[in-house]
Chains A and B, each alone.
Chain A
């Protein structure tokens, strides 16, 4: 299995502060994704990357930015956290015939 780790696993932050979530993969997969999961909405795509420094927006990208300076790392930044961004965030890599392999998730609470 491709190793994919997310950090931190849990975070509580205050409204208005910037927050960065990290996703790290140990294999050389080109595509990486950030999703958020909320009750009643399921998994929704925030941003994705198709290579180093190549990223694009998903359906719920407002208030988020991403960076990918190395193949193995994909960072998600909440520029100024709001309570509506309280959610569980999942990183995923795309693997042929498997769709995605997901990380374990980051539970973010904005107070």
Chain B
């Protein structure tokens, strides 16, 4: 069964204290791994897509990496405005079948204190 697990569930950091969020997955054929940010009362907002092991993407203080079993979202010198829930999702499937369905982890809620 395809599964996505995120850890930790919650993370509290001081401003400037770097850390990493983990997303481990088991899928039958990875088509893509996605990171989203969700603010309270809003829909998830796209951050990154990773397709193959060894791939890395960066945006401001965020960097996403991918291995064959997990992905990390590294947050360097975070600011209070980085406080949000970060969601990981995978798109699975093999061959020509692609419904676009995503399987989501439960998210990591990050709080950055000034």
Q: Is B43 touching A90 in the complex (CB atoms < 8 A)?
A: yes
Count of chain B residues near A, Cβ 8 A: 21
Across-interface contacts of B99 in A (CB, < 8 A): 31, 48, 50, 56
Count of chain A residues near B, Cβ 8 A: 25
**B83 at interface, CB cutoff 8 A:** no
Q: Is A105 touching B42 in the complex (CB atoms < 8 A)?
A: yes
User: Chain B residue with minimal CB distance to A104?
Assistant: B43
User: Chain B residue with minimal CB distance to A97?
Assistant: B49
- State A78–B70 Cα separation when bound (angstroms): 36
**A8 at interface, CB cutoff 8 A:** no
Which listed residue, B36, B42, B49, B107, touches A104 by the CB 8 Å rule? B42
- Closest-CB distance, B41 to chain A (whole angstroms): 8
Q: Is A58 touching B101 in the complex (CB atoms < 8 A)?
A: yes
Across-interface contacts of B36 in A (CB, < 8 A): 99-100
| Residues in B lying within 8 Å of A, measured CB to CB | 32, 34, 36, 41-46, 49, 87, 89, 91, 99-102, 104-107
| Residues in A lying within 8 Å of B, measured CB to CB | 31, 33, 35, 40-45, 48, 50, 56, 58, 90, 92, 94, 97-105
